[in-house]
Amino acid sequence: MDTCLPWGGGFTGLKQHIGHVPRNVSRCPNSTKDDQLRMRNFINDGKIKKKAKHEHDKALRSEAIQVLNDSVEMDEIEDSLGLKTPSYIGPMDGYANKINPEIMKGKGKKADLNDVVRNERILAFHKFISKWAYKTKFLFMHWKI
């Protein structure tokens, strides 16, 4: 089976094109009835599998909610065993504390190793381009930035 044009729309688009599924793609004039039925079956099987998986996940979630509703006894057991008390300090509380301005004085931006390496590479690249332009007698009026 030959396709009409060079294709870049992915497998789903190709299936829809060959299977004459409307809306997203144009219909393939070269596909036979057998090819059309086969591609439509591939598309429908995928939809059925996705729907079954969604139903299965939905059933698992409903079971988990029922288990959570029945977990009142577990809370009583945890309280009686004296497990670790919950922490009321969250991750954002570190940012909410007051900043002492005296600590921040005299401190600039820390030197990052990646910035140093990047600057060295850029400098080496500029040197290479400059040497190349000098050796080839490149006219700078042709240089476009």
In a domain, 69, yes or no: yes
The range of the structural domain enclosing residue 76 comes to 10-82
Residues 20, 1: contact at Cβ < 8 Å?
A: no
- pTM, rounded to two decimals: 0.39
Residues 35, 16: contact at Cβ < 8 Å?
A: no
Residue 78: what residue type? Answer: E
In a domain, 49, yes or no: yes
What span, in angstroms and rounded, lies between the C-alpha atoms of 22 and 33? 16
What span, in angstroms and rounded, lies between the C-alpha atoms of 132 and 38? 59
In a domain, 115, yes or no: no
In a domain, 20, yes or no: yes
Number of domains present in the structure of the chain: 1
CB atoms within 10 A of CB 92: 7
Residue with tokens 């930035």: 145
What span, in angstroms and rounded, lies between the C-alpha atoms of 20 and 14? 10
Can you give the pLDDT of all 145 residues of the chain as single tens digits? 455 666 666 777 778 888 888 877 888 888 888 888 888 888 889 889 999 999 998 888 887 777 666 655 655 656 655 555 555 566 655 555 555 556 555 555 665 667 777 888 888 888 888 888 888 877 766 666 5
In a domain, 123, yes or no: no
In a domain, 132, yes or no: no
Summarised one tens digit per residue, pLDDT across range 75-84 is 565 665 555 5
